[in-house]
Amino acid sequence: MLNGRNTQTPWAGDRPRLRRGFGQILNWVVAALVLTLIVTLAFQADDAYQATRDHFAKRAPVVPDTFKASRSYPGHKPGLAFDNHSNTWWGPGVTQSGEGEWLEARFQQPTRLLDVMITPGVSKRVDQIAESARPHRIEAKITAGDGSTSTKILTLDQGAGSQRRKFRVGDAVAVRFTLRSAYGADDKKQVAIAEIEFFGRSNSSS
């Protein structure tokens, strides 16, 4: 009557209910949850795409550009752990487990890594497995191109030969491997690592 519009007024009992109080709050909560889900999916879409590519990609060796270590045994510098020869090795030159000693590889450009292969000891040969202690647990600290860091723990087996582990990291510029424990450690042996190999996506992967 007061709004001046020629509209039909519904009879009492036929009026639509006004959603107030709890019902209105519930609508806002649902809308907020849906919006949050959409935003989350949008941000994670690229991560899911990259993870799918990583899973199906062919692997290719990735060679670091420079190397360094906390210390090295004479004649067994850090570069020998990245020279693609399993009969050369790096060792810190200290006995027992060498806990806290580290070996680092660096890349000139941020590099996406998928796997790492480690050959513990002085060689991959079974008859030389007792000549040194072998790493058991290794802490891998990854530095990304933006300066952020992340950490992975690699646990190796006691046997001789190369051991491959998943190592999916994006845009790595440095990886530092720190010894945490070792097999066969004693006062007359040092820990040795014959080879560390990185693998990334092959250029032939689509």
Q: How far is CA 130 from the centre of its chain?
A: 31
Q: What is the pLDDT of residue 55?
A: 47
What integer pLDDT is reported at residue 26 of this predicted model?
A: 72
> Which runs of consecutive H residues, i.e. helices, occur in 15-104?
22-56
What are 101's two structure tokens?
């000693």
CA distance 161 to 157: 10
pLDDT, mean of each 10-residue run, the chain (206 residues): 58 58 70 70 51 63 97 97 96 96 97 97 96 98 96 96 94 97 96 97 68
Angle at 49 between CA 173 and CA 31, to 5 degrees: 115
- 3-state class of 6 per DSSP? coil
DSSP β-bridge partners for residue 103: 69, 177
Instruction: State how far the Cα of 194 lies from the Cα of 131, in Å rounded to an integer.
Output: 12
The HSE-up count of residue 44 (CA atoms within 13 Å, CB side) is 7
Cα(192)–Cα(119) distance, rounded to whole angstroms? 9
Tell me the pTM.
0.74
pLDDT of residue 146: 95
Residue-level pLDDT at 49: 46
CB 53 within 8 A of CB 201: yes
Whole-number pLDDT of residue 35? 75
Q: What pLDDT does residue 30 have?
A: 74
pLDDT for position 18: 54
CA dist., res. 166 & res. 12, Å (int):
70
